[in-house]
Amino acid sequence: MEKNNGQILVIDDDKDILLTTKIILKKHFKRIKLENDPSSIMKYLDDDIFDVILLDMNFAAGATSGKEGLLWLKKILSKNSDAIVVMMTAYGDIDLAVKAMKEGAIDFIVKPWDNKKLVATVVSAFKFSQSKKMIEHLKVKQRTLSKDIDQPFTEMIGVSDAMKNVFLTIEKVAKTDANILILGENGTGKELVARALHRKSNRANQIFINIDLGAISESLFESELFGHVKGAFTDAKESRAGRFEIASGGTLFLDEIGNLTLPLQSKLLSVIQNREVIRIGSNKNIPIDIRLICATNIPATELKNEINFRQDLLYRINTVEIEIPPLRERIKDIPYLSEHFLKIFAKKYHKENKKISKDAIKKLSKYHWTGNIRELQHVVERAVIMSETPVLKPTDFLLRDIDIKGMTNSNLNLEKIELKAIKKALLKNKGNLSKTAKELGLGRTTLYRKMNKYGL
């Protein structure tokens, strides 16, 4: 029989009981320490970590009140609130045992004990100890993982008035559980805002789940979001929780919600209204508790067109709207963002001490940025990789020529610039819409909409 890799501390003033306990438990545990003087407990706790502590209720000769045991139990738990303590008493006083468990002991055993009962009690306590440690380990991993994932989003950079308004709104609504709808073009940082809302919320220590609805096919929508039971469909080889279940207690971020078809919108509305999900193949209602944040690149005016988007769903998801301005409307932020990305990529590619020249900043500030912050990030990254000089010059930043060359006050109409960009990208990519959308930093849905707008 393989022994548990655990450490047990037994404290009793009767040396015969200590020896007997060791003989019985050593068949099941690798390390057992014995102590007959309770005043040594604190030293043991300072020097070592124990999975289970067996503690006698009475130490003084003739004592039966259990006061000493309760006193040492409190001291142990004050030293280590996670300690797993099993009380031992020779008198079977149930009231005393209940009192000990109210004070924090997890179980008790009556002397003289049945050997099997002793082993079962200690093994059960050991398993409970391992479970607590595993849960704490997972929590630490989750906090670390969330911190790592959030690393690029720890600072929302902006000094422009438009971004100051965004920051103010985040501060006002973050602590509430109000459903938030984030509006903005692709690349403006909608996920960044969602994470900021979560990080500043009362659910900050809970999970943040991000779902790109535009990347989930209609056939997988219910399974991904609501889960399924084993055998619910051909490939359902095991039961699986959906994203709503997994996110319960935390924040659920639904990106590109404007891409959902009307039937899927109806299913989503039902879950949001009832605050419960039913896995595919089951009839069991599973309650959920989430903070819902949604985002889309579709303008609010188009969302309010009930032909494409259910208005009852819109009312549910946009208790508060936060609109992220495109980069071209926050020119003041470009120097700060550029320096931010420069630091990140200079460190990543081991090219520290690089700087951006004033002329380069001027060039970046005049650019239209159809791909917004995401495009700026890529442009700075490329410049860092390709440049071999310590100062990045205007020529180090490769920009699409539609913006700067040949622009005068008479041809700065944004729609004309946008139309020209789309035509040029379509021509370059030979009509391939996926490649064109990627080239322009747009989603396919947004590209379709703009092409219809301009009659292309």
Say what the pLDDT of residue 1 is. 61
Vertex 74: Cα angle to 86 and 80 (nearest 5): 80
Entry pTM: 0.62
Same domain, 306 and 340: no
Same domain, 8 and 123: yes
Cβ-count burial 231-252 (b if 16+ within 10 Å, e if not): ebeeebeeebebbbbbbbebbb
Same domain, 112 and 241: no
Same domain, 130 and 32: yes
Question: Taking Cα atoms as reference points, which of 45, 39, 52 lies closest to residue 9?
Answer: 52
Same domain, 305 and 321: yes
- Of 63-77, 181-195, 289-303, 404-418, minimum mean pLDDT range: 404-418
Same domain, 376 and 423: no
How many structural domains are present in the chain?
4
The β-bridge partners of 182 are: 295, 322
Same domain, 391 and 415: no
What domain range is 412 assigned to? 408-456
CATH number of domain containing 35: 3.40.50.2300
Residues 6+ apart with CB under 8 A from 370: 400, 418, 421, 440, 441, 442
Same domain, 450 and 338: no
Q: What is the percentage of the chain residues whose pLDDT exceeds 70?
A: 91
Say what the pLDDT of residue 448 is. 76
**pLDDT tens sequence across 361-372:** 999 999 989 899
Say what the pLDDT of residue 235 is. 82
CATH number of domain containing 389: 1.10.8.60
**pLDDT tens sequence across 9-27:** 999 988 899 999 999 999 8
Residue 196 three-state SS: helix
Question: Taking Cα atoms as reference points, which of 77, 81, 86 lies closest to residue 136?
Answer: 81
Q: What is the mean pLDDT of residues 142-156?
A: 58
DSSP 180-192: EEEE--TTS-HHH
Instruction: Give Cα separations from 172 to 167, 168, 290, 371 (angstroms).
Output: 9, 6, 19, 29
Residue 200 three-state SS: coil
Helix, strand, coil share (%) of the chain residues, nearest 5: 50, 15, 35
Same domain, 294 and 379: no
What's the rounded Cα separation, in Å, for the pair 303 and 216? 20
Question: Taking Cα atoms as reference points, which of 92, 100, 91, 96 lies closest to residue 54?
Answer: 100
The β-bridge partners of 293 are: 180, 253
Say what the pLDDT of residue 409 is. 47
Average predicted confidence (pLDDT) for the chain:
86
Same domain, 181 and 223: yes
Residues 6+ apart with CB under 8 A from 28: 1, 3, 4, 119, 122, 123
